[in-house]
Amino acid sequence: MNKTLGIGIAGLGTVGQGFIKQLKSFKAGSKKAANIKVISVAVKNLRKKRNISTPSLPMTNNTMSLANNSEIDIVIELIGGSSGIAYKLVKKALSNGKHVITANKALLAMHGNELAKLAEKTNVSLNFEAAIAGGVPVVKAIRENLRFNSIRKVYGILNGTCNYILTKMENNEGSYQFVLNEAQKKGFAELDPTFDIQGIDAAHKITLLSCLAFDIPVNFKSTYVEGITKIDNYDFEYANELGYTIKLLSVATKSKDKIQQRVHTCFVKLSSEIAKVENETNAVVIEDSVIGRNMLIGPGAGAGPTGASVMSDLMDIVRETKNYPLGVSINKKKIMKIAKIEDLFFAYYLRISALDKAGVMAKISKALSKRKISIKSIIQKPSNKSSFAEIILITHKIKEALLISAIKQIKILPEVSSSVKFIRIEDSL
Amino acid sequence: MNKTLGIGIAGLGTVGQGFIKQLKSFKAGSKKAANIKVISVAVKNLRKKRNISTPSLPMTNNTMSLANNSEIDIVIELIGGSSGIAYKLVKKALSNGKHVITANKALLAMHGNELAKLAEKTNVSLNFEAAIAGGVPVVKAIRENLRFNSIRKVYGILNGTCNYILTKMENNEGSYQFVLNEAQKKGFAELDPTFDIQGIDAAHKITLLSCLAFDIPVNFKSTYVEGITKIDNYDFEYANELGYTIKLLSVATKSKDKIQQRVHTCFVKLSSEIAKVENETNAVVIEDSVIGRNMLIGPGAGAGPTGASVMSDLMDIVRETKNYPLGVSINKKKIMKIAKIEDLFFAYYLRISALDKAGVMAKISKALSKRKISIKSIIQKPSNKSSFAEIILITHKIKEALLISAIKQIKILPEVSSSVKFIRIEDSL
């Protein structure tokens, strides 16, 4: 533990600045951290104005130099992006026998298997606590502890931006678009929020958690992804009336022979713990057959939380903690089939806008009953469009393919407006 | 990692049986675990009937033999108790250079500094994930990660028995005594529940968390301890009326120059997350200046959860994870002053039973105002004792010593019944 470790930091955005700030205050107070030396900090633009003072830092704009600098033992990749320079840097650094710490979930979701294999080959650490749920120590908890307990389900709120927007909508603070704009102004949402609001960021994260929890390879392309863009304030109104709220949930489950990996909005019971996770907070629930249930709640983003997680990864390397990057050796990972969303069973919230005429309900009911979809409850409301009514149906559990087929039939009814919305219900949380 | 590790297990109660069960199912599925060999299982009474089949186990009633058996690399102490054989065994095992895993919070609360020092000296692990909050991986989270973030507060619900009893009382399922008896029948409370209901078990745990979080030595004797025995159903009624519930909280805080370590019942807001932690569930909140806030929730006891935590400790040893038992070296621990409860400031719930006569309230008010204790709200109720009234006061924040002094004066008022009850209010959770 007494050897000096040289670190190279690539990227000086929110996470990078948070980490450097913490490293400074930490070095002031700890002898152990005195053995950590910042050798190089790589940024794209040396002249960009930043919130932290950089003159004292060994800056470079040659990012790839970090992978080749013999004084650097640990490369900390905080650039982001699944390809390009981040990928090249991490690959090269691992090949050259340097430990890598990254906050880059996109990179790992796309190239995690390859990079883990490389890290195993050169016998170095590849740590990524900051990549999932920011300051919540969930990667370590699953990778080093909970994984041994036959985990059957990992789920949670993994995207703070979406949860912030949904919370504001639930509290009647405006429309989706208004709330998104406000979030952007406050810095809670990116200027280009696509990855967040489309569920892609959450999908990267749940793919990695699934890989860690179930000892399977990273398989992002099989993760089902839906974002929050189709939710409106009426959905919240109807949800509340029925005892639910709406969350963007990330879910991974394992049954005998199949994995589920999915991200989509869900109706969750107002009384559930997950419903109470508000604003930009993240939460992860781990259900297994030994412990039962663990829930971890904390901040999912921000300079402090992500910086702290990078620091935690660094201290694991300082302590010479040995871990396979993805829990077990990549050679021991078992490939399992990932279920298609159409083959899964859910109860559904269905929202149909239809002319307020006799016989419409009968036609809708017929389309459903033909496919053995039974209805648990119905609400009918006058629509904001005159002469239309909003029909809200809650179904019992049914295979999704059947619901999709029923919706197709309902959509072509002349009395029904073309948009028929459905949201899955997670009743068991 | 390929060396076979011999383990010796002392104690075959709930935790021991849970661990052995998990080890068996784990060995069936994992090559890594195949390198773990159970060398010896020590119990007091070889002929006692148990829930697991023992004929296949290498049983002994010579507990101390585990510390001397050269085939044993890791001693797993699951006997319990702060002194006696558990202490002797752990001490001897560490002295002999064997790793120790223990679920024994009493032992560590009493002898943690000495045992940690010994483990450091012989360069072995001393792991105790199962000792605090059962299946919740909070020891690892604080010891290996969160400790680096200038933690300022750790608090939570650390005794499942007490939380179970208080939850049942809140839900109007009976008196304290009735609920306790029911809990004993169901196995949620020990036949001798003293350590639980007096808050001692929770105090052991918060003392250890304080030591880990703040890098101070274990100091149990300075932890303030109060149990749940003085709470009655009326307290819940009044609490609810005022927007609160009652929890047995364990709290450790660090300010510039002082530590708080305390266990006592508190009024907590009904809307707080901690209020929603029900029945035997445990929860720990960690507040620091970098991440902000992390909350971990899960089962605090039971064969599965505690067995899983022992397994997690074992896997850390298999992976050769290096840790100082108490976070930092015992030589680096800073002794800090632990505040006396009388010197702390709280808002209070005060419950006074007094004759329903004119002038009583004036006398009570005078006793309070003389000490600058100001009142935030008052409820007056007819008492169950005729001609008595129950006066419920909520005070603003005041130094506890002043409240105690006021209560002394109130108690000797001729109109007041001798018992004046107060409960601290934690408004900031």
DSSP A326-393: TBS-GGGPPP-EEPPGGG-EEEEEEEEEEES-TTHHHHHHHHHHTTT--EEEEEEEE-SSTTEEEEEE
The pLDDT, as a whole number, for residue B294 is 97
The enclosing domain of B408 has a CATH number of 3.30.70.260
Distances (CA, A) of B221 to B131, B133, B216, B288: 18, 21, 14, 25
**A146–B contact, CB cutoff 8 A:** yes
Within this chain, do residues B163 and B292 fall inside the same structural domain, yes or no?
yes
Asked if residue B333 is part of any domain, the answer here is: no
ipTM over 0.85 threshold? yes
Q: Which residues lie below 8 Å from residue A46, measured CB to CB, with a gap of 6+?
A: A59, A61
Residue of A nearest to B133 (CA): A294
Q: Average pLDDT for residues B277-300, to the nearest whole number?
A: 96
Strand partners, B224: B262
In what helix (H) or strand (E) does residue B424 lie, and over which residues does it extend?
Answer: strand B416-426
Q: Please check whether residue B114 touches A, CB under 8 A.
A: no
**Vertex A306, ends A318 and B328: CA angle to 5°?**
35
Q: Which of A129, A139, A296 to mutate to test the interface with B (most CBs of B within 10 A)?
A: A296
Is the confidence at residue A331, as pLDDT, over 70?
A: yes
Does the structure show a pLDDT above 80 at A54? Answer: no
DSSP H stretches of helix in B226-302? 233-241
By CA distance, what is A276's nearest residue in B? B273
Would the pLDDT of A308 be above 90?
A: yes
Task: Quick: pLDDT tens for B61-72.
Answer: 999 999 999 999
Question: Does A357 fall in a domain?
Answer: yes
Minimum Cα–Cα distance from B327: chain A residue: A319
pLDDT reported for residue A1: 47
- For the segment A62-89, the average pLDDT, to the nearest whole number, is 97
Could you write out the three-class secondary structure of B146-170?
HHHHCEEEEEEECCHHHHHHHHHHH
B144 interaction partners in chain A (CB closer than 8 Å): 140, 312, 315-316, 319, 321
Question: Among candidates B82, B171, B22, B197, which has minimal Cα distance to B188?
Answer: B197
> In CATH, what number is assigned to the domain containing residue B211?
3.30.360.10
Those residues with Cβ within 8 angstroms of residue B182's Cβ, 6 or more apart along the chain or in another chain: B168, B173, B174
CA distance B86 to B89: 5
pLDDT for res B30: 61
Clarify whether residues B403 and B269 are in a common domain. no
Residue A371 lies in a domain: yes
CB within 8 Å: A290 and B276: no
In tens, the pLDDT along B156-203 reads 999 999 999 999 999 999 999 999 999 899 888 888 999 999 999 999
* Nearest CB to A148; choose among B26, B276, B291: B26
Mean pLDDT for the stretch of residues A359-372: 95
**B201 and B248 inside one domain:** yes
**Nearest of A325, A258, A255, A318 to residue A287 by alpha carbon:** A255
CA B125 – CA B5 distance, rounded (Å): 14
Query: pLDDT tens for residues B143-161?
Result: 999 999 999 999 999 999 9
Statement: residue B140 has pLDDT above 70: yes
Enter the tokens of residue B316: 């850390």
**Residue A158 and residue A109 share a domain:** no
- Single residue among A274, A299, A324 that ends a domain in this structure: A299
SS3 (DSSP) at B345: strand
8 A C-beta contact, residue B309 and residue B137? yes
In a domain, A126, yes or no: yes
Residues of A (329-348) whose Cβ lies below 8 Å from B: 332
Encode pLDDT of A202-230 as tens digits.
Answer: 999 999 999 999 999 999 999 999 999 99
Closest by CA position to B116, among listed B310, B329, B316: B329
Residues A236 and A221 both lie in one domain: yes
Chain A residues close to B304, C-beta within 8 Å: 289-292
Residue B389, phi then psi, degrees to nearest 5: -125, 150
Instruction: Please answer whether residues A263 and A223 qualify as being in contact, where contact means their C-beta atoms are separated by less than 8 angstroms.
Output: yes
Taking every pair of Cα atoms in chain B, the longest distance, rounded to a whole number of angstroms, is 82
Q: Taking CA A388 as the corner, what is the angle to CA A385 and CA A391, rounded to the nearest 5 degrees?
A: 115
- C-alpha gyration radius of chain A: 24
* Domain span at A364: 342-426
The residue among A27, A145, A320 with the most chain B CBs within 10 A of its CB, best to mutate, is A145
CA distances from B425 to B244, B267, B314, B429 (A): 9, 5, 40, 10
B385: amino acid identity, one letter: K
Are A293 and B291 within 8 A, CB to CB?
no
Q: Which residues of B touch A304 (CB under 8 A)?
A: 289-292
Q: Is A376 assigned a catalytic role?
A: no
pLDDT at A116 over 90: yes
A98 shares its domain with A179: no
Rounded to the nearest 10 degrees, the angle between the axes of helix A400-411 and helix A360-369 is 150
Q: Which residues contact B181 (CB under 8 A, 6 or more apart)?
A: none
Q: What is the mean pLDDT of residues B288-309?
A: 95
| CA closest to B305 among chain A residues | A291
Task: Please say whether the beta carbons of B251 and B212 come within 8 A.
Answer: no
Mean pLDDT of B262-272: 96
Helices (H), B221-379: 233-241, 303-318, 360-369
| Greatest alpha-carbon span in chain A | 82
The predicted model gives B270-287 an average pLDDT of: 95
Please give the tally of structural domains in chain A: 3
Per-residue pLDDT at B28? 64
**Min CA distance, A107 vs chain B (Å)?**
24
Residue A339 has pLDDT above 50, yes or no: yes
Q: Are residues B288 and B360 in the same domain?
A: no
Mean pLDDT is lowest, of B65-74, B220-229, B265-274, B375-384, for B375-384
A289 shares its domain with A383: no
**Out of A135, A295, A307, closest to residue B298 by CB:** A295
pLDDT confidence of residue A159: 97
**A61 CB neighbour count, 10 Å cutoff:** 11
A173, A273: one domain: yes
Whether residue B329 lies inside any domain: the answer is no
**pLDDT at site B34:** 64
Model confidence at A172: pLDDT above 90: yes
CA atoms B86, B90, B96, B100: torsion sign: positive
Residues B123 and B171 in one domain: no
Q: Answer yes or no: is A421 within a domain.
A: yes
C-beta atoms of A149 and B311 within 8 A = yes
Q: In this complex, is the C-beta atom of B213 within 8 Å of any C-beta atom belonging to chain A? A: no
Query: For residue B392, how far is the Cα from the chain centroid?
Result: 29
pLDDT of residue A37: 94
> Which of these three, B100, B128, B156, is where a domain ends?
B128
Task: Give domain status of residue B373, yes or no.
Answer: yes
DSSP A142: I
What is residue B1's predicted lDDT score, i.e. its pLDDT?
47
SS3 string, A29-97, reads: HCCHHHHEEEEEEECCCCCCCCCCCCCCCCEECCCCHHHHCCCCCEEEECCCCCCHHHHHHHHHHHHCC
A105 and A147 housed in the same domain: no
Residues in chain A within 8 Å Cβ distance of B26: 148
**Confidence class for position A419, pLDDT limits 50, 70, 90:** confident
CATH number for position A103: 3.40.50.720
Of B128, B156, B189, which closes a domain?
A: B128
Three-class SS state of B285: strand
Output the pTM of the full model.
0.94
Range B32-47 burial, b when 16+ CB lie within 10 A, else e? bbeebebbbbbbeeee
Of A23-32, A89-98, B81-90, give the lowest mean pLDDT range. A23-32
Tell me if B330 is assigned to some domain. no
Q: Residue A55 burial by CB count (10 A; 0-12/13-18/19+): exposed, middle or buried?
A: exposed
pLDDT, one tens digit per residue, over B20-69 is 999 988 766 665 666 899 999 999 999 888 888 778 899 999 999 999 99
- For residue A118, give every residue at least 6 positions away whose Cβ sits within 8 Å of its Cβ, in sequence order, or none: A91, A94, A95
Which residues in A268-295 are b (16+ Cβ under 10 Å) and which e? bbeebbbbbbeebbbbbbbbbebbbbbb
Tell me, letter by letter, the H, E, C secondary structure of A262-273: EEEEEEEECCCC
Percentage, residues of chain A above pLDDT 70: 97
Residues A20 and A149 in one domain: no
